[in-house]
Amino acid sequence: MTKEIVATAIKDLPEEFHLDELFERLVFVEEVEAARKEVREGKTIPLEEVKKIVKEWQK
């Protein structure tokens, strides 16, 4: 995570906020960035495979 990302997260919050809100936002941003990295690296599962997995769960 960079200072720029943290600064943007803070800037997007209302004037008054709870620290938990900032923390939740930063965790969300970090998770999205990690997911985007996995996509760039090809570490994803094709939709059709996901559908098969979900069908198995429903049995």
What is the predicted pLDDT for the residue at 59?
Answer: 79
DSSP SS3 for 34: helix
Residue ranges per domain, the chain? 3-57
Residue 49's pLDDT is what? 95
The tens digit of pLDDT for each residue in 7-49 reads 999 999 999 999 999 999 999 999 999 999 999 999 999 999 9
Distance CA 22, CA 56 (A): 38
Say which residues have a Cβ less than 8 Å from residue 38's Cβ, sequence separation at least 6: 44
What is the per-residue pLDDT for 3?
94
- Within 10 angstroms of residue 45's Cβ, the number of other Cβ atoms is 9
Say what the pLDDT of residue 1 is: 84
Nearest-angstrom CA–CA distance, 15 and 31: 25
- Cβ 1 vs Cβ 22: under 8 Å: no
